[in-house]
Amino acid sequence: MNARSPFFRAATAVIYLFLLTPILVVAIASLNDAASLAFPPKRLSLRWYGAFLSAGEFGRATGVSLEVALATAIIALALGTAAAYGLTRAPVPGGFVVLQYLTAPLILPALVVGLALLQVYSRLGVSPSLASLVAGHAVVALPYTVRTMYAAFAAYDTSLDDAAATLGARPLRTFFRVTLPLVMPSVVAGGVFAFAISFSNIMISAFLSGPSTTTLPVRMYNYIEFANDPTIAAISTVVVLATFLTVWGLHKTVGLGGFFR
Amino acid sequence: MTTARAWILLLPATLFLVVGFAGPIFFLGWTSLNVKGGGFGLEQYRRFLLDPFYRGFLTETVVISLVTTAVCVVLAYPLAYQLARTGARARSVLLMLLIAPLMIGDVVRGYGWLIALGDYGVLNQLLLAAGVVAKPIRLIFTPTGVVIGLAQVLLPFMVLPLAAAIGTIPVDLEEASLSLGARHGRIFRKVLLPLTLPGLAAGVVIVFALAMGSFAIPMFLGGVRVKMVGPLVFQQAMLTVDWPFAAAISSVLFATSLLLLVGYTWLGGGARRGLEAAGR
């Protein structure tokens, strides 16, 4: 078979078009001047971007989402890096099971995690706050950092650490001055992915967001329930552009190899 | 490093998941055993699994998830092949276009599909203008619409492990079969398919499990017409506020995914490889 054959190229193009359809449609709809979602737009305008910027509720929700995503990425990175280092640097009995356990929240439904945490919080009398929301997000983000860091440490050449130790560096110093700088690309990739997972999350937030901790996806969802103007399309387009820029930045700096092994 | 030190490093993450994941799931299971008016029993499970109305949700969710998985398999092979066999530069562009939608989130994508597939959405306006149909075809609030949305959202999870599997097959193998007179279809059946089975299995398990537990896409594209378990859990928990029943439905959903995952890990050592390949 030949990946360069016209058939394969055409098939790839069509499938990519399918993959990008909702994103392209949202971008076009955001430029529509009319309040109804007519297609194709009769007149173009940027007024829905203005609506996004001037509506304080969306600004607040964006702030909440950014805060939660940043905290989630930091916690997931710290816990995930330590665990991955432990798993790869010493023979741990049942290490495979531990790895499966730490990455289980990936495949097991996040919806169930959200509901389970809500019931525990309610039982313990924990009211919705940024911290209670971050805890839920960190559960679903942790597997991403564990996997990325596990792969990075597994491929790491430990003779470099031995050399540092021979030269008199203590383990902690070796880790922070030698090991960590060398796996930094994976730290960045894992952190960005954890951030994105949290920023776009709806399943956990739908259960754990409170009135003062409404995240952007929840706010958007609630808005769509009763209004049908392109404000949401404008917000979505901003999110899409930011995501593509981030992925492109990752590609240019640390590479996307971590997603393709 | 000693094993004891390794355990100290593993402890924070392990404990965090005990408190934030395993513990709450057990509590959920306990809640699901509560019976109205006190006591314990399987009443909630009986209601979910035996009442035809609620069992319909389970059946429809399984059917939609199976169809979605099948659609993803068909769409993923050409993409994975292209990704694995193309030059480094084109590959990174393809990879970027595959990963970015993954990070964008279900609300944006669900909303996009709503605009694309609505009664007067992009697709219908194009079809009407071209004179292909006389009146709009109904796609949203139908199982077909949900399958379209889910397939788009979950496709990368099928492509990534498949592409990794194809990447490990030497091109020589295909060229040898070609020079021996095998046709493309036969090469796919006799060479590519058998050698990518572990990657395929990984993709199938991930996509099916994520489709079963999906929530935002069925809410957007299925509304109340398409009966899926994810939205039912949300509705029972947050609107009806029947927590024991919501807990029972969630427990069934959770047990299904767990069984799938454990069975798969047990059967093939490929789980680890495939999942790592998926970047998940």
A53-87 pLDDT, tens per residue? 777 888 899 999 999 999 999 999 999 999 999 99
Contact predicate B31/A119, CB 8 Å: yes
The verdict on a CB contact (< 8 Å) between A111 and B118 is no
**B206 CB-side CA count, 13 A:** 32
The secondary structure element, H or E, covering residue A101 is helix A95-103
- Cα(A199)–Cα(A190) distance, rounded to whole angstroms? 14
Q: Quick check: B75 and A107 CB within 8 A? A: no
Q: Which of B71, B108, B62 is nearest to B203 (CA)?
A: B71
- ipTM comes to 0.90
* pLDDT confidence tier of residue A140, bands split at 50, 70 and 90: very high
Q: Which of A63, A71, A85, A68 is nearest to A176 (CA)?
A: A85
Q: What is the pLDDT of residues B253-267, one digit of tens each?
A: 999 999 988 888 777
Give Cβ neighbours of residue B240 (< 8 Å, ≥ 6 apart): none
pLDDT digits (tens, 9 = 90+) for B209-237: 999 999 999 999 998 889 999 999 999 99
Q: Which residues contact A210 (CB under 8 A, 6 or more apart)?
A: A127, A128, A129, A133
Q: What tokens appear for A143 in the block?
A: 């597997």
- Residue that has been written with the tokens 């909630």 in this structure: B44
Q: Which two tokens stand for residue B60?
A: 């429809």
Q: Do A112 and B25 touch (CB under 8 A)?
A: yes
Q: Which of these, A253, A139, A200, lies nearest to B101 by C-alpha position?
A: A200
Find the residue in A nearest to B75 (Cα): A15
Name the amino acid, one letter, at B250: S
**pLDDT mean across residues, chain B:** 88
Examine the pLDDT at B118 and tell me if it is beyond 60: yes
DSSP of A185-241, one letter per residue? HHHHHHHHHHHHHHHT--HHHHHH--GGG--HHHHHHHHHHH--STHHHHHHHHHHH
A20/B116 touch (CB, cutoff 8 Å), yes or no: no
Backbone angles phi, psi at A31, to 5 degrees: -95, 0
pLDDT, residue A1, reads: 62
Count of H-run helices and E-run strands, chain A? 13, 0
In the numeric block, which tokens belong to residue B39? Answer: 């006591």
pLDDT for A257 beyond 70: no
List % helix, strand, coil for chain A (3-state, nearest 5). 75, 0, 20
DSSP state string for A133-170: HHHHHHHHHHHHHHHHHHHHHHTS-THHHHHHHHTT--
Cis amide leading into A40 (omega within 30): yes
Q: How far apart are CA B152 and CA B109, in angstroms?
A: 9
Q: Is the pLDDT of residue A28 over 80?
A: yes
CA distances from B20 to A102, A189, B14, B153 (A): 12, 24, 10, 26
3-state secondary structure of B41: coil
Give the angle B104-B108-B112 at the CA atoms, nearest 5°: 125
pTM, two decimals, is 0.90
Query: How far is CA B133 from its chain centroid?
Result: 32
pLDDT at B271: 45
- CB of B44 closer than 8 Å to CB of B29: no
Verify whether the Cβ–Cβ distance B103 to A79 is below 8 Å: no
pLDDT of residue B207 exceeding 60 = yes
CB contact under 8 A, A83 and B14: yes
Q: Do A112 and B213 touch (CB under 8 A)?
A: yes
CB atoms < 10 A from the CB of A171, how many? Answer: 14
Q: Which residues of A touch B103 (CB under 8 A)?
A: 193, 196-197, 200, 243, 246-247
Least confident window among A30-39, A222-231, B152-161: A30-39
DSSP at B278 = T
What pLDDT does residue B215 have?
A: 92
The closest CB to that of B99, out of A99, A240, A247, belongs to A247
Is 80 exceeded by the pLDDT of residue A251?
A: yes
- Most A CBs within 10 A among B15, B18, B21, B257, hence the mutation to make, goes to B21
Mean pLDDT of B192-196: 86
pLDDT tens digits, one per residue of B46-78: 999 999 999 999 999 999 999 999 999 999 999
Check whether A194 has a pLDDT greater than 80.
Answer: yes
Cα separation, B159 vs A16, whole angstroms: 12
Please tell me the distance in Å from A247's CA to the nearest CA on chain B: 6
Q: Chain A residue closest to B223 (CA)?
A: A225
Which chain B residues have a beta carbon less than 8 Å from that of A71?
none
pLDDT at B170 exceeding the cut of 70? yes
Distance CA B164, CA A261 (A): 6
User: Which is nearest to A149 in space by CA: A226, A201, A76?
Assistant: A76
**In contact, B148 and B186? CB cutoff 8 Å:** no
